[in-house]
Amino acid sequence: MDSHQNKSADHSEKDRVVIFDTTLRDGEQCPGATMTYSEKLEVAELLDEMGVDIIEGGFPIASQGDFESVQEISRRAKNSVICGLARAQMPDIDRCAEAIKPAKRGRIHTFIGTSPLHRQYQMGIDQAEVLTRVQASVTRASGYTDDVEWSAMDATRTEPDFLCQCIETAIKAGATTINIPDTVGYATPDEFAGLIRMILERVPGADSVVFSTHCHNDLGLAVANSLSGVIAGARQVECAINGLGERAGNAALEEIVMAIKTRSDVMPFWTGIDSTMLTRASKLISRVTAFPVQYNKAIVGRNAFAHESGIHQDGILKNAQTFEIMTPESVGLKESSLVMGKHSGRHAFREKLKELGYELGDNAFEDAFVSFKALADRKKHVYDEDIEALVDQEIASAHDRIKVVALTVIAGTGGPQKATLTLDINGKQQTHESTGDGPVDATFRAIKALVPHEARLPLYQVSAVTEGTDAQAEVTVRLEADGKTVTGRGSDTDTMVASARAYVSALNKLLAREARRKPESMLAS
């Protein structure tokens, strides 16, 4: 048995489940999960390395940014097929074809809503017109590549007879993968399996294509529905790291992979994913989206392999299998170790970064090392998690136009609470003093006075990176402007400094977006 992949000697190609990752497309559609161009490339590189079969890199017609990232991911990918999304419209398909052109292997994924609700309210067209558009879009895509995926958006709420007609049309027009999305996360596992079986039995030509699942998690059933689909005959699963995606998200890639690997006795399938990279992938996505991973999240949550009760700990020490159905090592989790202290040198720090999966250029390394030394001066025990929080912050803020230079806060019962803040704004230092309803409010008011903006603050969240009163605080701040949300993260042993950094990080993202839209805008001086 290969220790990383799920394939064993008695598994054949027909049992292979193709992993289609949509973190960069459906995942990025999740409010607040926007990634920058370089973050997308970093994510794609990791997905490619970990054995993802198909990477859906974006929706090329949606924006110039999406187009360019799909194009660059296509240039760089070594193993994965690179896919772009396109509506059933000719300009979408042409733009998508252009974006995936540099890929060794490229796929066009075209879709249309098939359910009565989508036909009537989204598009205002009848069944005949849907069939015409399916035929035309798949034919157009097939002119560019022989790898064409067609999706019936809202398939699970589509009339079965009409769904079969659409699929037959798509297959005849040249689709090689047929995706059956549970777009609104409405199906149950039995129902979804029944739908896949019905399609396989009824649609002429069904045996010549791969069927795919794309299940949303509105009822918490995305993984269960996807696996039911596989048991019923689907051989591609669309999923996203940490289950990122529209609303409640998509099926979580790490859960799909480990369920197939761990329960191969009842699900005799395999994937090409190196499962020891799952933890790294989860941390990367959490960092670039600034979405914290739920502590009790299956496979990659902080508590997924933690044993609290005495009975469990005793059992684990005697034989890990008493309370563990998979090993922490199989998902790439290493023992959290006490890493280094203030006497650790550059060499040890570089080795530690390598072990944690970071490759920094010389300048970034020097900056991170200086921050590490400063942290080690203030904090007795520096753990892997501390290093990760610190480096993530360095990477995230490397190109920021606004930086936190100094903050002094007066807090306590007396009031009014006061914050004196110095920011570096485009290379110039500026200071402001504000009072507020508590130290956080005073700090955020000072930021707003120095960088006037209209954004709303829908989320402010604090957690501790490790245990102990000297633990670093990790703060998440979400800002919303013009209907778009961005998320920033900051860490420091001082919660107020972490809060200021998180707010400024989100603000930098907003400004970067604004600058892309109107290059001469805010802070252009």
Q: Which residues bind Zn ion (CB under 5 A)?
A: 26
Q: Which is nearer to ligand KIV, 246 or 392 (CB)?
A: 246
Q: Pick one of ligand KIV, Zn ion, none as the site partner of residue 111 (Cβ within 5 to 8 A by kind).
A: ligand KIV
Q: How many residues in the shown chain lie near ligand KIV by CB under 6 A?
A: 9
Is residue 214 part of the contact set for ligand KIV (CB under 6 A)?
yes
Rounded Cα gap, residues 275 and 326, in angstroms:
11
- Strand duo 54-58 + 456-464: pairing: unpaired
Rounded Cα gap, residues 143 and 112, in angstroms:
19
Rounded Cα gap, residues 228 and 192, in angstroms:
7
Q: Which is nearer to ligand KIV, 16 or 214 (CB)?
A: 214
Stretch that binds ligand KIV, among 136-144, 175-183, 225-233, 285-293 (CB under 6 A): 175-183
- Please report how close the Cβ of residue 245 comes to Zn ion at its closest, in angstroms: 6
- Please report how close the Cβ of residue 29 comes to Zn ion at its closest, in angstroms: 8
Rounded Cα gap, residues 281 and 273, in angstroms:
12
Q: Which is nearer to ligand KIV, 111 or 369 (CB)?
A: 111
Half-sphere exposure of 364 (CA within 13 A, CB side): 15
User: Among candidates 235, 274, 295, which has minimal Cα distance to 465?
Assistant: 295
Q: Pick one of ligand KIV, Zn ion, none as the site partner of residue 153 (Cβ within 5 to 8 A by kind).
A: ligand KIV
DSSP string for 369-382? HHHHHHHHHH-S-E
Kindly report the backbone phi and psi dihedral angles of residue 187, in degrees, each rounded to the nearest multiple of 5, phi listed first. Answer: -75, 160
- Please report how close the Cβ of residue 198 comes to ligand KIV at its closest, in angstroms: 19
Please report, to the nearest 10 degrees, the dihedral formed by the alpha carbons of residues 144, 149, 154, 159 taken in order: 100
| Joined tokens for residue 457 | 């603050």
- Please report how close the Cβ of residue 210 comes to Zn ion at its closest, in angstroms: 18
Is residue 495 part of the contact set for ligand KIV (CB under 6 A)?
no
By CB under 6 A, name the one of 35, 60, 62, 111 that touches ligand KIV.
Answer: 111
Q: Pick one of Zn ion, ligand KIV, none as the site partner of residue 505 (Cβ within 5 to 8 A by kind).
A: none
- Please report how close the Cβ of residue 88 comes to Zn ion at its closest, in angstroms: 16
- Please report how close the Cβ of residue 215 comes to ligand KIV at its closest, in angstroms: 9
Which stretches does DSSP call E strand in 88-144? 106-113
What part of residues 432-461 is at the interface with ligand KIV (CB under 6 A)? none
Stretch that binds ligand KIV, among 179-187, 203-211, 334-342, 417-425 (CB under 6 A): 179-187
DSSP code at position 431: E
Q: What is the largest CA-CA distance in the chain?
A: 77
Is residue 507 within 8 A of residue 488, CB to CB? The reply is: yes
Q: Which is nearer to Zn ion, 96 or 500 (CB)?
A: 96
Rounded Cα gap, residues 506 and 490, in angstroms:
10
> Per-residue string for binding with ligand KIV, 223-262, x by CB under 6 A?
----------------------------------------
In degrees, rounded to 5, the angle at the alpha carbon of residue 343 between the alpha carbons of residues 338 and 346 is 90
- Please report how close the Cβ of residue 272 comes to ligand KIV at its closest, in angstroms: 22
What part of residues 7-46 is at the interface with ligand KIV (CB under 6 A)? 26
3 state SS for 466-506: CCCCCCCEEEEEEEEECCEEEEEEEEECCHHHHHHHHHHHH
Is residue 114 within 8 A of residue 137, CB to CB? The reply is: no
Q: Pick one of ligand KIV, Zn ion, none as the site partner of residue 140 (Cβ within 5 to 8 A by kind).
A: none
- Please report how close the Cβ of residue 80 comes to ligand KIV at its closest, in angstroms: 18
Is residue 217 within 8 A of residue 245, CB to CB? The reply is: yes
Q: Which is nearer to ligand KIV, 57 or 181 (CB)?
A: 181
- Please report how close the Cβ of residue 318 comes to ligand KIV at its closest, in angstroms: 46
Helices and strands, counts by H and E, the chain: 16, 16
Is residue 84 part of the contact set for ligand KIV (CB under 6 A)?
no
Stretch that binds ligand KIV, among 176-184, 315-323, 328-336, 499-507 (CB under 6 A): 176-184
Helix axes 253-262, 278-289, angle to 10 degrees: 170
- Please report how close the Cβ of residue 237 comes to Zn ion at its closest, in angstroms: 13
- Please report how close the Cβ of residue 216 comes to Zn ion at its closest, in angstroms: 6
What part of residues 140-159 is at the interface with ligand KIV (CB under 6 A)? 151, 153
Q: Pick one of Zn ion, ligand KIV, none as the site partner of residue 289 (Cβ within 5 to 8 A by kind).
A: none
DSSP code at position 120: I
Q: Which is nearer to ligand KIV, 67 or 111 (CB)?
A: 111
Q: Which is nearer to Zn ion, 239 or 333 (CB)?
A: 239
User: Among candidates 398, 406, 410, 441, which has minimal Cα distance to 423?
Assistant: 406
Binding site for ligand KIV (CB under 6 A): 26, 111, 151, 153, 179, 181, 183, 214, 216
